[in-house]
Amino acid sequence: MEIDEEKIDNAVLALLWLTLHDGDRAWKSFDWAVMDRLNQKGLIANPAGKAKSVVLSDEGLRRSEELFRALFTRST
């Protein structure tokens, strides 16, 4: 089975939107490899460190909400 890391990255970014607090922070309890890729793409701040949350960039905030709505909401 070949894993599509882009789809995984998109799903994790969408789930980060679900856990947003303080405007632009989200809990970082996801796979470290995914978090590193999101950081390399400029969507989140460096996830390494003692903080239990990570800061999303403006682009990361926009994309995370967009992906959350696309992946996890129902059409009415």
The 3-class secondary structure across 30-65, one letter per residue, is CCHHHHHHHHHCCCECCCCCCCCEEEECHHHHHHHH
pLDDT of residue 33: 94
pLDDT of residue 6: 94
Give the pLDDT means over successive 10-residue stretches in the chain (76 positions).
Answer: 92 94 92 95 94 95 95 85
pLDDT of residue 36: 95
pLDDT of residue 75: 81
Say which DSSP state 25 is in.
Answer: E
Distance, in Å, from the CA atom of 26 to the CA atom of 32, rounded to the nearest integer, reads: 14
pTM as predicted: 0.84
Domain locations in the chain as residue ranges = 5-50+57-72
pLDDT of residue 53: 94
